[in-house]
Amino acid sequence: MKIVIAGAGEVGSHLAKLLSREEQDIVLVDDDSSKLDAISSNYNLMTFRGSPTSFDALRNAGVENCDLFIAVTPFETRNVTSCAIAKSLGAKRTVARIDNYEYMTNDNRDFFTRLGVNSLIYPEYLAASEIVTALERNWVRHWFEIHDGEIILVGVKLRDNARLIGMQLKELAAMQHNFHVSAIKRNHETIIPRGDDYIKSNDILYFTTRRDDVNELLELCGKRHRPIKKVMIMGGSRIAVRLVKMAGERYRFKIIEISRERCLKLSEKVPDADIVCGDARDIDTLKEERISDMDAFIALTDSSETNILSCLSAKEFGVPKTIAEVENIQFISEAEGLNIGTIVNKKLLASSKIFQMLLDADSSSSKCLALADAEVAEIEVKPKSKITKAPVKDLNLSRSMTIAGLIRDGHGQLVTGNTTIQAGDHVLVFCLAGSIHKIERLFN
């Protein structure tokens, strides 16, 4: 698939690297050559210097025959303009990154379609919804549901009190549980487990299960559900604003922001939350705002390091749930190792959105979840695809992927070696980074 990405900022260059590893043809366009040079000489993609809103530049970059055009410059107006130009030049599908909730509403969809923008990505919105899920299901690291929760993928970190520790996956299977261990994240590495793998303490386990059976996991993993009411947010970023607007009635938010000017704006924008002007890195400020009474602590400043460290100190004050925004990808697994409850990364959220488009160009029913080094995707099985030819155990699937569950006729069920997948099923696939193109081949 030929993909043109306009804007070599954080999201753009991350996407470009990721997609080039997925063996897609990538052209990255930006008007700053210093951003392009390093990427061009180290990654298997082509860069092109030119303005993303120039007809000439886009034509030279080959937009005319590209399958997907992604505009992710920092400015939404630029992104929309550039998508409109790309569409008029002949791009098959366009995606613009935006920064305005209004644009997402259904009433305004038509307007963007007419302009030539097929899809919109709003990373801050995605991040805010991710945080809301994390607050609701606060005993898990990841919660990913498809088809209204018919199949649910949960990532849980196991502590010493979990009953599963020390077990072999074969034994687990013999015990007839209603879940499937899809992946294990251990020491910065995600593995797709086999029958002879053992479960160890400090592993993050990814289970696939049905909605009714989730509670069984709770007990097996030694977790319990704590209701959350009071939430402290550090840093009044755009995600924080979106979050309070989204869940302001359910939770009591308290935002600590360092800049007075920003605080004044926040108090105007989000009347639901208490705004405190102060430095959340300062222990006295935290104590003053009674951090030990909080049920959750969310760090959303621009600095990943500050977010990670502040979450750690919040943990020390006894806050049960911490959430940190970590934008440096290599810090994510470090942060996961440091017992930070949930990690939010705008880049990964945006790229999972794009992956979803890659996997299923016409349908918006499918979903995709990008983890630091793995992807989870929901895929609809097309008639006559390779995957339907034999039971799963006889398909010789690559070791970098596993089929976790499927939805047939609206009902979720787990997949075992003897299951034969049929056309029309929705399948939940867990695959390691760099192998999503293999999946495409299996399903089309």
Partner 1 sequence: MFKRLTRLNIAMLLRVIGWLLMIESAFLVVPLLTCLYYGESDWEAFAIALCITATVGVLMTFCIRPGRSDMGKREGFLLTASVWVFFSLCGMIPFMLGVSPIGFTDAFFEAISAFTTTGASTYVSVDNLSHGLKLWRCLMEWLGGMGIILFTLAVIPMLNYSGGMQMFNAEVTGITHEKLRPRVSQTAKGLWFVYFILTGILIVLLYMGPMSLFDSVCYAFSVMSTGGVSTSDAGIGAWDSLYIKIVFIVFMVLGGVNFGLIFKVGTGQFKAVRENQVFRIFMGTIIVLVFMTSIAAYIGNPVHSIETSVVDPLFQVVSMMTSTGFSVPEVNMWGDFVLLLVFLMMFMGGCAGSTSGGAKIDRIIVLIKHSRNEIYRCLHPNSILNVRVNNKVASPDTVSKVIAFLCLYVMIVLVASGLLTILGMPLGHSFFTSLSCISNAGLGINIMGVDATFIGIPDVGKWILSLVMLIGRLELFTVLLLFTTDFWRK
- Per CB under 8 A, residues contacting partner 1 are 2, 20-21, 23, 25-27, 33-34, 40-46, 49
Whether 300 contacts 234, CB under 8 Å: yes
CB of 39 to partner 1, least distance (A): 10
Whether 353 contacts 391, CB under 8 Å: no
Whether 196 contacts 169, CB under 8 Å: yes
**Cβ-based nearer residue to partner 1, 7 or 236:** 7
**What residue type is 36 in one-letter code?**
L
Helix, strand, coil percentages for the chain (3-state, nearest 5): 40, 25, 35
**Cβ-based nearer residue to partner 1, 244 or 372:** 372
CB of 197 to partner 1, least distance (A): 20
CB of 30 to partner 1, least distance (A): 15
CA distances from 67 to 105, 136, 368, 369, 374 (A): 25, 38, 19, 22, 24
Backbone angles phi, psi at 323, to 5 degrees: -135, 130
CB of 441 to partner 1, least distance (A): 14
- Collect all residues with Cβ–Cβ distance below 8 Å to 339 and sequence separation of at least 6: 157, 315
**Cβ-based nearer residue to partner 1, 43 or 198:** 43
**Cβ-based nearer residue to partner 1, 30 or 325:** 30
**Cβ-based nearer residue to partner 1, 60 or 303:** 60
**Cβ-based nearer residue to partner 1, 43 or 101:** 43
Element (H, E) at 241: helix 238-247
CB of 26 to partner 1, least distance (A): 5
CB of 69 to partner 1, least distance (A): 14
DSSP string of 348-372, one letter each residue: HHHHHHHHHHHH-SS-SS--EEE-S
